[in-house]
Amino acid sequence: MGEEIFLKEWIILNLIGRCKSIKDLFSKGLSTREIIESLSLDRAKLTEITARAEEEYNKAKDLGIEIIPLSSEEYPPLLKEIPDPPPTIYVLGKKVWLDNVSVSVVGTRRPTRYGIDATKKIITQLVENKIGIVSGFAYGIDTVAHTEALKMGGVTIGVLGTGVDVIYPKVNKWLRRSILESNSGCLISEFPIGDEPEAWHFPRRNRIISGLTSLTVVVEASMKSGAMITASYALDQGREVCAVPGNIDSENSQGTNQLIKEGAKPVTTGEDILEELNIIPTFRSRKVIPDLEEDEMLIWNLLEQPKMEEELIVLTGLEINRFNTTVIRLELKGVLERLPGKILKRKDE
């Protein structure tokens, strides 16, 4: 019973929202009641918030959402350290930060092929070394990051800019389901249950993304993007920032290249990040070269990097019908993947 009252008081604090002052008062050793009092809200307002907190508590119970207060041992330890941690976080799914070291991977909502491939490449190596992936559950790089982590059997945390029960963006419904069903990931948010997406939520949410981990990787970001905001939060929080360098002409690499100029570590592989985390990389034995016929091998060997079919036709010099059948054979063998723009790439297992 005491615990229930205690938690409700934390919810009140979360609804008041003045994260920085609350943390300061908390670290001075004040109890929740004392913190509420010292924030000196007017009576009417406090009554209203108390009623809402009651409601939140019941809703969370009904929906199976866990509310973790700042004081809890289950509260993400790194997030506790930032200047303005949310007084409570709402969690749906498995609390994976308890067993895994994670890094944050963020980037533009409108990635290029390069950004998508870079994200996948880096995440593959991170997941192989049991690193969890934190990202913002938005379109683009975020979606790639979560998806790839799950595909590789890793853990992932999606930090939402809405209430944890709200599906946003709508098209990521499937991703939400696969994170929750995988039992190796969770969705977290500081926003009350049922909170709809608002423009100001997202920059605020970014401090949690960077706050959850000791290192943030920016994959592709234009100068003005949420990913850049996340990077500057990470720096304010005294966390490491890494950036994936890109083409100097590409709009999507302006931000990342700028970060590198300002001293962020340029990373091109997952190993670079592991090194930064002082983790000695272990590598799963690379996939054995599949059993291929002559023509198939010809194409396979040229696919160290993804290539356009048109280019492969020229490089292999195969007759067009022969080329077409060989590509389908490789696809049937499950070693080749086809991407929009007639791009072929080796399928990574």
Partner 1 sequence: MLAKVLSAALVGIDGVLVEVEVDISNGLPSFTIVGLPDQAVQESRERIRSAIKNSEFSFPTKRITVNLAPADIKKEGPSFDLPIGIGILMASEGIDLKLKDPFLLVGELSLDGSIRPVNGIISMTILAKNSHIDTIFVPYENSSEAALIPGINVYGVKNLTELVGFLNGEKILSLASPARAIRINEVKGDFSEVKGQEQAKRALEIAAAGFHNVIMIGPPGSGKTMLAQRLPEILPLLTEEEALEVTKIYSSAGLLPKGGGIIEERPFRSPHHSISLAGMVGGTTNPRPGEISLAHNGVLFLDEFTEFRRDVLEALRQPMEDGTLIISRAHGSVRFPARFMLVASMNPCPCGYLGDTKKACTCTPYQLERYYSKISGPILDRIDIQIEVPRLETETLIKGSSSENSVSIKKRIEAAREFQASRFKDGIRANGLMKPSDIKKYCRLKPPLQSLLREIVDKFKLSARSYDKLLKVARTIADLAASEEIREEDILEATQYRILDRKYWEKKFS
- Tokens 């500057």 sit at which residue? 232
Q: Which one among 17, 169, 245, 281 touches partner 1, defined by CB under 8 A?
A: 169
Q: Which one among 343, 345, 346, 347 touches partner 1, defined by CB under 8 A?
A: 343
Distance between CA atoms of 226 and 232, rounded to whole angstroms?
A: 10
Contact criterion met (CB below 8 Å) for 97 and 199 = no
# residues contacting partner 1 (CB under 8 A): 43
User: Among 91-99, 176-184, 233-241, 245-253, which window interacts with partner 1 (CB under 8 A)?
Assistant: 245-253
112 binds partner 1 (CB under 8 A): yes
Distance between CA atoms of 160 and 136, rounded to whole angstroms?
A: 6
Q: Helical H runs in 2-70?
A: 2-16, 19-27, 32-38, 43-63
Distance between CA atoms of 99 and 225, rounded to whole angstroms?
A: 31
346 binds partner 1 (CB under 8 A): no
Residue 36 C-beta: closest distance to partner 1, Å: 42
251 binds partner 1 (CB under 8 A): yes
CA distances from 235 to 32, 84, 213, 253 (A): 30, 14, 12, 19
Q: Which one among 54, 268, 342, 349 touches partner 1, defined by CB under 8 A?
A: 342
Q: Which one among 262, 310, 348, 349 touches partner 1, defined by CB under 8 A?
A: 310
Distance between CA atoms of 215 and 235, rounded to whole angstroms?
A: 10
User: Among 45-53, 201-209, 255-263, 329-337, which window interacts with partner 1 (CB under 8 A)?
Assistant: 329-337
Among residues 34 and 319, whose Cβ is nearest to partner 1?
319
Q: Binding mask 120-159 vs partner 1 (x if CB under 8 A, - otherwise)?
A: -------------------xx--xx--x------------
Residue 295 C-beta: closest distance to partner 1, Å: 11
Of 160, 150, 83, the closest CA to residue 120 belongs to: 150
Q: Binding mask 259-278 vs partner 1 (x if CB under 8 A, - otherwise)?
A: --------------------
How many other CB atoms are found less than 10 A from the CB of residue 80? 15
Residue 292 C-beta: closest distance to partner 1, Å: 15
User: Among 21-29, 30-38, 39-47, 327-335, which window interacts with partner 1 (CB under 8 A)?
Assistant: 327-335
Residue 265 C-beta: closest distance to partner 1, Å: 24
Residues 6+ apart with CB under 8 A from 147: 175, 178
What is the SS3 assignment for 158?
Answer: strand
Task: Check residue 137 and give left, alpha or beta (phi > 0: left; psi -120 to 50: alpha).
Answer: left
For residue 166, the 8-state DSSP code is: S
Among residues 115 and 154, whose Cβ is nearest to partner 1?
115
- Residue 1 token pair: 């019973």
197 binds partner 1 (CB under 8 A): no
Distance between CA atoms of 132 and 101, rounded to whole angstroms?
A: 6
Among residues 121 and 265, whose Cβ is nearest to partner 1?
121
Compute the Cα dihedral for 167, 81, 87, 185 and give only its sign. positive
341 binds partner 1 (CB under 8 A): yes
Binding site for partner 1 (CB under 8 A): 108, 110-116, 139-140, 143-144, 147, 169-171, 250-252, 308-311, 313-314, 320-325, 327-329, 331-332, 334, 338-343
